[in-house]
Amino acid sequence: APPMLGWTAVTGQLGPEPLLLVLIVFAWTPPHFWALAIHKRDEYARAEVPMLPVTHGEAFTRLQVWLYGWLTVAVTLLPFVIGMSGAVYLVGVAVLNARFMVWNWKVWRGVDPKAPLAAFWFSIRYILAVFGVLLLDHYARLWVG
């Protein structure tokens, strides 16, 4: 996984921190791709690609987006819990997680047909911002001492 490779290349060590970075990406991946799969469900069905909305239905997939979104929220809090990050990260990721879950809630409820695609696009910015806030927190803690 790229986060583990990057961490190891920079530090020369393999520890729990890069594994946690991989876990963040791992937890984020299902709600990210399943939101797109809901949007593209008919295309996947025509092409006989066994994506979750095709094999288990759209309602089940929407619920999984919601549940895996909460898993992602929990996992993104772990850097703070284990002392890998500080207050800057905690505040930043709390704001990002709130917005992430608003989009996942819209997908789960199925009220807005545009929500799955919008959630997919937001999730790309979300994962970038999560890692960006983690980096910002690192340098803020170095600066403060």
The owner of tokens 């909305």 is 53
| pLDDT tens-place string over residues 102-112 | 999 999 999 99
Domain boundaries, the chain: 16-144
Report, as ranges of residue numbers, the positions in the chain whose pLDDT lies below 70: 1-2, 4-5, 7
Residue 2's pLDDT is 66
Single out the residue of 96, 113, 116, 90 nearest to residue 31, CA to CA: 116
Residue 12's pLDDT is 79
Residue 15's pLDDT is 80
Single out the residue of 28, 52, 30, 32 nearest to residue 119, CA to CA: 32
- Cα–Cα distances in Å, from 61 out to 41, 93, 120, 141? 11, 25, 14, 40
Fold for domain 16-144? Four Helix Bundle (Hemerythrin (Met), subunit A) (1.20.120)
- Cα–Cα distances in Å, from 109 out to 14, 23, 59, 82? 41, 27, 9, 34
Residue 7's pLDDT is 67
